[in-house]
Homo-oligomer: A and B are copies of this chain.
Amino acid sequence: MKYTHKVQYYETDKMGITHHSNYIRWMEESRVDLLAKIGLPYSEMERLGIGSPVVGLDIKYKAPSTFEDVIEIETTVTEYTGIRLRFAYSMKNAETGAVVVEANSSHCFVSDGKVVALGKAFPEIHKKMTAAVKAQAESSK
């Protein structure tokens, strides 16, 4: 799924480039966008009492970006087990095509402060997520 972010002035630092912490925020933006597009808006999951906190991430900074650059973020669900959800992100400069960042994030699901398995706790959501991940895999063949 493609998502676009334009680098803002307040996202740069005194090195003249995007501060590295912002890419983690754009990962969230694009992940939230993907979930909405597959019919599982994060706000709706929260209304049902489901949270999906980040449990880990890794990121490789390949090239800098800066103010007014348009960043294209390709986000993919790489794993969904009902307990764990993983995304991969590839960010490139929309104008030059240069790869800027490669990253991954993993998430669990929580409800009422406890880790839950979506299949048991929220079977409807689990079904939607499973179908969406399958559809994504098909379309990328």
Interface of A toward B, CB cutoff 8 Å? 8-10, 12-17, 19-22, 24-25, 28-29, 32, 41-43, 46, 51, 53-61, 64, 66-68
Contact = CB atoms under 8 A, between A and B. Distances in A.
B43 A28 contact: no
Residue with the highest number of chain B CB atoms closer than 10 Å, among A16, A41, A66:
A16
Contacts of A16: 14
Number of copies of chain A assembled together: 4
Contact of A55 (B12, B56, B60): B60
Contacts of A14: 9, 12-17, 46, 66-67
Nearest to A62: B55
Contacts of A64: 53
Contacts of A25: 8, 10, 21
B67 A56 contact: no
B8 A28 contact: yes
Contacts of A15: 14, 51, 53
A1 to B, nearest CB: 16
A13 to B, nearest CB: 5
B68 A61 contact: no
A58 B56 contact: yes
